[in-house]
Amino acid sequence: MEKAKIVGFQALTDKVGRFSLRDKICLIPEMNRIGSHLLAAVFRGFGINARVMETYKGLDLGREYTSGKECYPCQITMGDILYCMKEEAARLGDDFHAEDYIYFMPEADGPCRFGMYNKYQRIVLDSFPELDRLKIGSLSTQDGYSLAGIIEDGRVRDLRKASYFSLVIGDILDRLLWRIRPYEKEAGSTDEFIETSMRLMEELLERMGPQKEFDKVLDRLEQVIEEGKGLIDPAQPARPLIGMVGEIYLRTHVHANQDLIRVLEGFGAEVVNASLAEWVNYISYDALRSARRGFLLALRRFRTQAMKKYLKDMMGYGGDLYYQEFRLKRTYARIRSLIDLPADHRVAHLEKILKEEDLLDFDVGTEACLSIPGIIEYAREGYNGVVNVYPFTCMPSTITSAIVGPLMNRLGIPYLDTPYDSTSQPGREAAIRTFMYQAEQHFKRHGRKGNAETG
Ligand code: SF4
């Protein structure tokens, strides 16, 4: 691709934001594979031409157009979009028009660099004459990932509900994979089964998502679970249970974390990773918390306009959170009656743990607010070890590591930090093997939580 000019700051407001997705091709990065594909299916159900971009194939491009100081997920996603555009340009020739696409890249406010990815990527895209008209569709944590404006107003709420539901289904399929694979009768059968189940759920969510026929999707998911249970060899003994937390991109992107869950399983673990739904709930919870704080401040100063605005925000975010928690609880209640998958923690409960232990305040923000109490909860529930997965130099995960490392030491629970960049680390396997040896010892001494039987 030919390089061109660097543009001014106006591009950061004119070409990064929430845009209508009608008549555009919406490009969704593949972070968590299942979650991304199910979300794209829901979007398609609502008439949006959504596609999941291939991931990791453009890593060389990502490296070429970053300096090395950016977070690893920024490098990967930079590569993904450049690779996708290069492929589309080659495929379509003169019919390729960058303005036909919208590249979906959410952002977060707060103290770390996630809020800067889309700005940085905007600057890079604008340096190519053929890509400067490719807009970046950005959802922000500032307004609780509002979808307003991307489709017609009357359907926004339904799109949000169906999108959230698809994330919950994605989490459940992932948890099913991690629950079955370590005990499968036939090597490779679980991966194949989950891939087929994902395609089935895609088809159902695309068709039933817009009508909010969530119970019908769950009826079929229950059959999937019954089928999946048949892959488990009941003669296999239970394994040490490992909880995973960390930065959301790294812990869910199997290429970026070099398929860490599979490696842990190879050394004898059963793993449970933190979910995507928990992060979305946290965003709504945090937005509600900020609105509440704003309201109290306005009340103290008796600013009625501001009070009205914050009250409206509180009702909106409170409604989102209420709905999400309701949907989550109801879905897991049905699924857990069939198989012992772990449920998600309520965010209010995680905040309570942080307060009780006096380790960090939610005012600091970032994923450390979820990871630290999540680890404590794993410890309380009797997990045999905890792994923290994150990009090298990631700020929230380094905070988590600094706080939780000594705590786990005190509690006698094996703990492992696994920072990643695009290099392969020579001592990685030895560190994981040593960690798993410790987890095995913990398991022998203390047993493990609930699902001690494999079948
Ligand atoms: S969470 Fe970590 S990896 Fe992600 S932007 Fe922030 S510092 Fe970077």
Higher pLDDT pick, 10 / 205: 205
> Is the pLDDT confidence value at 4 over 50?
no
> Is the pLDDT confidence value at 396 over 70?
yes
pLDDT score, position 452 = 41
Ligand 1 pocket member 113 (CB < 6 A): yes
pLDDT score, position 110 = 67
Higher pLDDT pick, 454 / 56: 56
> Is the pLDDT confidence value at 454 over 50?
no
Q: Once rounded to an integer, what is the mean pLDDT over residues 427-443?
A: 96
Q: Once rounded to an integer, what is the mean pLDDT over residues 399-416?
A: 95
Ligand 1 pocket member 396 (CB < 6 A): yes
**Cβ neighbours for 266, distance < 8 A, ≥ 6 positions apart:** none
* 386: phi then psi, degrees, rounded to nearest 5: -135, 140
pLDDT score, position 1 = 58
> Is the pLDDT confidence value at 455 over 50?
no
Q: Would you say 135 and 16 are in contact if contact means Cβ atoms under 8 Å apart?
A: yes
Taking CA atoms, 302 is separated from 295, 299, 305, 308, in Å, by 10, 5, 9, 11
> Is the pLDDT confidence value at 109 over 80?
no
Centre of ligand 1 to C-alpha 137, Å, is 19
pLDDT score, position 118 = 87
Nearest one of 445, 433, 371 to 408, comparing CA atoms: 371
pLDDT score, position 85 = 98
Closest ligand 1 atom, residue 114 Cα: 5
Which of 5-19, 137-151, 348-362 is predicted with the least confidence, judged by mean pLDDT? 5-19
pLDDT in tens, 166-191: 999 999 999 999 999 999 999 999 99
d(CA 398, CA 388): 10
Nearest one of 191, 254, 250, 270 to 371, comparing CA atoms: 250
**Cβ neighbours for 294, distance < 8 A, ≥ 6 positions apart:** 306, 309, 310, 313
> Is the pLDDT confidence value at 365 over 70?
yes
**Cβ neighbours for 304, distance < 8 A, ≥ 6 positions apart:** 298
Ligand 1 pocket member 208 (CB < 6 A): no
Give the number of other Cβ atoms within 10 Å of residue 436's Cβ.
25
Atom 2 (ligand 1): residue with closest C-alpha? 394
Closest ligand 1 atom, residue 113 Cα: 5
Ligand 1 pocket member 70 (CB < 6 A): no
d(CA 59, CA 422): 9
pLDDT score, position 7 = 53
Atom 7 (ligand 1): residue with closest C-alpha? 394
d(CA 163, CA 54): 21
pLDDT score, position 442 = 97
Closest ligand 1 atom, residue 115 Cα: 5
Q: Strand 49-52 relative to strand 101-104: parallel, antiparallel, unpaired?
A: unpaired
Which alpha helices (H) appear in 267-339, and where do they start and end? 276-301, 304-336
d(CA 163, CA 384): 34
Centre of ligand 1 to C-alpha 72, Å, is 8
> Is the pLDDT confidence value at 219 over 50?
yes
pLDDT in tens, 258-290: 999 999 999 999 999 999 999 999 999 999 999
Ligand 1 pocket member 310 (CB < 6 A): no
d(CA 127, CA 132): 7
> Is the pLDDT confidence value at 419 over 80?
yes
Closest ligand 1 atom, residue 73 Cα: 3
d(CA 38, CA 41): 5
* Residue labelled with tokens 């879905």: 331
> Is the pLDDT confidence value at 138 over 90?
no
Centre of ligand 1 to C-alpha 359, Å, is 20
Q: Would you say 198 and 34 are in contact if contact means Cβ atoms under 8 Å apart?
A: yes
Q: Once rounded to an integer, what is the mean pLDDT over residues 56-69?
A: 94
pLDDT band (50, 70, 90) for residue 360: very high
pLDDT score, position 2 = 52
Higher pLDDT pick, 306 / 149: 306
Mean pLDDT, rounded, of the chain: 93
